[in-house]
């Protein structure tokens, strides 16, 4: 009886490309999860308070005022557009593989570049979101302006008079 070598070729032609596509999809799903989890932040403050005797209001500097101060909160979350960008990277790279790849190596380079684009987009989105929320300073909730790092993240802002809560 003679020993025969096992067939090491995949059963399906193009199986290596399918593995690369699956890897790209996993990277996209993981990046979405990372952004959904870590691209969060909150800033809350009041632009004054109640006077010590409870009869009036004071500004943030402690000066008495008749104007009721406002409090507010700004909550950072991922923008829906960033998830659309991730989907565009995945779909665009698959389209490039179908239209322009001449061999498996070329297809793997396209998929590798798409994975790198996903990683870069995720890191840039998380970094700009964290910088935006950490540098957020609002002294007067009755009139304010917020830099929102669109299309990567967005702020949900709510303000209320100090006596409401």
Of the candidates 35, 4, 65, the residue with the CA atom closest to the CA atom of residue 153: 35
Residue 145 forms part of a structural domain:
yes
At residue 139, the pLDDT reads 78
Q: How far is residue 36's CA from residue 142's CA, in Å, rounded to a whole number?
A: 30
Q: Which domain holds residue 82?
A: 17-58+68-161
Residue 2 forms part of a structural domain:
no
Residue 1 forms part of a structural domain:
no
Instruction: Find out whether 96 and 110 touch, Cβ atoms under 8 Å.
Output: yes
At residue 64, the pLDDT reads 87
At residue 163, the pLDDT reads 78
Instruction: Find out whether 49 and 77 touch, Cβ atoms under 8 Å.
Output: no
Residue 36 forms part of a structural domain:
yes
Number of domains in the chain: 1
Q: For the chain, give me the number of helices (H) and strands (E)?
A: 3, 6
pLDDT in tens, the chain (165 residues): 555 556 565 568 888 999 999 999 999 999 999 999 999 999 898 888 888 877 788 887 888 888 888 899 999 999 999 999 999 999 999 999 999 999 999 999 999 999 999 999 999 999 999 999 888 888 788 778 888 888 899 999 999 988 755
At residue 10, the pLDDT reads 58
Angle at which helices 80-100 and 104-134 cross, to 10°: 170
At residue 106, the pLDDT reads 96
Helix H or strand E encompassing 77: strand 70-78
Residue 156 forms part of a structural domain:
yes
Residue 11 forms part of a structural domain:
no
Name the pTM for this structure. Answer: 0.81
Please name the residue that has the structure tokens 């209320």.
160
At residue 53, the pLDDT reads 79
Q: How far is residue 35's CA from residue 118's CA, in Å, rounded to a whole number?
A: 11
What angle is formed at CA 5 by the lines to CA 4 and CA 9, rounded to 5 degrees?
Answer: 140
At residue 4, the pLDDT reads 55
Residue 77 forms part of a structural domain:
yes
Q: How far is residue 66's CA from residue 60's CA, in Å, rounded to a whole number?
A: 13
* DSSP conformational letter for 155: E
Residue 3 forms part of a structural domain:
no
At residue 105, the pLDDT reads 94
Instruction: Find out whether 33 and 46 touch, Cβ atoms under 8 Å.
Output: no
Residues contacting 5, CB < 8 A, separation 6+: none
């Amino acid at each position: 009886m003679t020993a025969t070598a096992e067939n090491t070729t995949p059963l399906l032609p193009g199986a290596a490309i399918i593995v690369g596509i699956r890897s790209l999809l996993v990277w996209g799903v993981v990046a979405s999860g990372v952004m959904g989890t870590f691209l969060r932040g909150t800033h809350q403050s009041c632009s004054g308070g109640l006077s010590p005797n409870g009869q009036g209001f004071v500004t943030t500097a402690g000066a008495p005022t008749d104007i009721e101060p406002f409090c507010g909160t700004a909550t950072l979350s991922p923008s829906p557009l960033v998830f659309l960008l991730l989907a565009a990277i995945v779909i665009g790279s698959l389209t490039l593989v179908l239209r322009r790849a001449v061999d498996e190596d070329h297809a793997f380079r396209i998929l590798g570049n798409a994975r790198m684009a996903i990683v870069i987009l995720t890191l840039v989105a998380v970094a700009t979101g964290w910088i935006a929320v950490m540098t957020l300073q609002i002294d007067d909730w009755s009139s304010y302006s917020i830099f929102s790092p669109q299309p990567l993240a967005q702020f949900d802002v709510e303000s209320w008079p100090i006596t409401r809560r």
